Amino acid sequence: MKRRLARVNPWFLATLALWAGSAGMNASFGWNKGLSHGLASALIFVLMSVAIDVLKGRLPVLMVRAGFLKRLALGFAWVLALSWSLTAALGFLATAQDAERGARTSEAQAYDAASAEKKRIEAQLSGEQPRSASRIEADIAAILASPGRGSKTVAASIACDKKGTTAYGAISQKWCPQLAVLEAEKAGIVTRDKLVARLRDIDAVLASAKPVTIDPTATLIEKVSFGTLASANVQIGLVLLGVVTIEVLSALGFALVAKAPKPKRETVKRPAARAARKRRKSSHVIRGAYPKLVAVND
């Protein structure tokens, strides 16, 4: 078993892995395309994609050993198979990249929105610290307990609407605006407490998350090129580079690692050397068959 493993060509294994990756991408792309027309169409697309990928890797090997005319036919078929495989791989990688970019875009937008909301809340809370709710309620109670009309208190002498404007009377005109201000200040404290709680939640979210770059590779190349290469163009170029690399290597890999047939060596035997070998051979035969006769002659 160990000897068999030792004999396995690592280049062949690498080519096989590339071919399997290419076939998997093409089969996945064919499945997704065919599934919109039903399960049968999806299976047909998968079978066609795998079959074309097999031909893509096998045809170059056959071209090496074929004649001129057959090589032309095989080359034309190989170009068609490679074109199909390139298109399918391009669709697969483009779809995968769009899905990844969409997820990263959502994460980046959520992070930016949380950061912007944090700045807005901090700006609202950066003003003067409000009084405590207990002090405000004490001021409201003091006003309502103050003397009003006759022997009545202010609470029994005024009538204020919801907006805090006076409904009638001089006493209402005096105290209702002040009560409205105190009620607004009290409501502001409740709102402030809600903002503080919301700020804590945002801080927890931002602490567990990190700023997200939509496409780190494209962004880095754009920075290295000092802006001469736009990020969108770099993204397209990276997809094309990946597709061409995988498809070309998986298409030509088996032909490159295949063992070429050894040429037959034609040996020209010299007549003199051949005759000498025959004489030596015949003398050995005679010595072995008639040892006594040979000894007498000697």
- Residue 294's pLDDT is 46
Mean pLDDT of 194-215: 83
59 burial level (CB within 10 Å; 0-12, 13-18, 19+): buried
- Residue 168's pLDDT is 60
Asked if the model's pLDDT at residue 297 lies above 50, the reply is: no
Helical pair 231-257 and 39-65, crossing angle rounded to 10 deg: 60
In the chain, domain spans: 2-115+229-257, 125-208
Asked if the model's pLDDT at residue 100 lies above 60, the reply is: yes
Mean pLDDT of 59-88: 87
DSSP SS3 for 109: helix
- Residue 18's pLDDT is 85
Asked if the model's pLDDT at residue 264 lies above 70, the reply is: no
Asked if the model's pLDDT at residue 108 lies above 70, the reply is: yes
Asked if the model's pLDDT at residue 279 lies above 70, the reply is: no
Going by C-beta distance under 8 Å and a sequence separation of 6 or more, which residues neighbour residue 44?
34
Q: Within its chain, how far is the Cα of 287 from the centroid?
A: 84
Band of residue 273 on the pLDDT scale cut at 50, 70, 90 = low
| Residue 110 to residue 91: CA distance in whole angstroms | 28
pLDDT in tens, 121-163: 888 888 767 787 788 888 888 888 887 776 677 777 677 765 5
Mean pLDDT of 91-120: 84
- Residue 153's pLDDT is 76
Q: Which residue has the higher pLDDT, 163 or 52?
A: 52
